Amino acid sequence: MALVERGGSVRSFHVERATKASVRDVLVRNADRKSTLMTDESNFYLITGKEFADHATVKHTGGEYVRYEADRIVHTDTIENVFSVFKRGMVGVYQHCGEAHLHRYLAEFDFRYNRRTKLGFTDQMRVDAIMDGIEGKRLTYRSAH
């Protein structure tokens, strides 16, 4: 599951089993309730959507992928793009990813998306962010005994 702010950052989560409760938990812990939630028509969002300032949906099963309203454009293309890049990376680059490590792959893709050139990040800024993240940490696959 992932949340994305249009023109901003993404947060991805490994949810063992998607249920209304698990989806709600991720949403209310990570999204401002003053925000507008834009989703597809899945019933996972029906009740939780009422907890936000606004909830707009597109009906993919009815062939609706974007809806133009007076003051906004309703779509889920932004998050679908995030998933598309992630899936392509998993198939084309990493190929073998066990569920135990999925959160690590999600974190890497979040890092890259959140520091993309469109947001004004340079290669040097990305390197600096990586170095800040590892400074003072021992990098091991398994914890030391």
- Tokens 């989703």 identify what position? 39
Give me the residues paired with residue 4 across strands. Answer: 10
Instruction: Identify the helix (H) or strand (E) that includes residue 37.
Output: strand 36-40
pLDDT of 139 > 80? The answer is: no
Domain that holds residue 49: 2-116
- Per-residue pLDDT, averaged over 116-138, amounts to 91
Is 52 within the bounds of a domain? yes
pLDDT value at residue 138: 81
Q: What is the number of structural domains in the chain? A: 1
C-alpha–C-alpha distance, residues 77 and 64, integer Å: 12
Is 99 within the bounds of a domain? yes
Is 134 within the bounds of a domain? no
- Tokens 């409760």 identify what position? 21
Is 138 within the bounds of a domain? no
pTM value is: 0.84
Is 104 within the bounds of a domain? yes
Is 130 within the bounds of a domain? no
C-alpha–C-alpha distance, residues 60 and 22, integer Å: 22
